[in-house]
Amino acid sequence: MLGEVKNLTALATISPSVRGIGKGKLSIDYMGGLWVLISRQDGGKIDPVMLQNMESWFRSIKPWEEGFTVKERVTWLSIEGLPVEGWNQHNLNLIVKQWGEPIFTQDCSIGGRNLSKGKVCIKTSQKALLTCTCKVEVGGNNFIIRIIDNGGLDLESLEGAMIRMNRKEKEEEELEDDDEEDWEDSLSKSSEE
């Protein structure tokens, strides 16, 4: 069976989640773009009942087609030379839109680990690797930036990026909760005085 996942989160989480489904246990193999091959590890036929619980991950599931090829690819583009004041998810996504659909932006906050290059994962129909320069305007000044195609999607690094993103979101939520508690404490102390 062929499956087109809904998004990168599904792609990063689907394989570990389905390993134990059914008697013949399913195998998920990445094919490129947002497509995976779904097969039984014992080589048997897939019972549609085995796929019922997986509908939330997929945009579509269809039988194997002879000659099927993936028409798009998912790749990371690195953006180098952007000044710090232009360093945010919105700007990085605007820069890469001309080559494909932005799917995921690696942490690009000022507090992030690396401001020498930003990375945006895109879905593109372009087959050739991209390496180019382009001019962008930030704060009234022109800058020449470099766009470098990192050559495809590595599921292990994607899983790691998703884990880091989820961890960062949880930490930010905890900080917001702590800030609210501190603010509430200071309000109650000032009202007691």
Q: What are phi and psi of 124, to 5 degrees?
A: -140, 155
pLDDT value of residue 7: 83
pLDDT in tens, 24-78: 577 888 888 889 888 887 888 887 777 777 778 889 888 888 999 999 998 889 9
Which residues have C-beta within 8 Å of that of residue 79, sequence separation ≥ 6? 92, 95, 96, 117, 118, 119, 120, 145, 146, 147
- Which of 126, 111, 2, 151 lies closest to 64 in space, CA to CA? 2
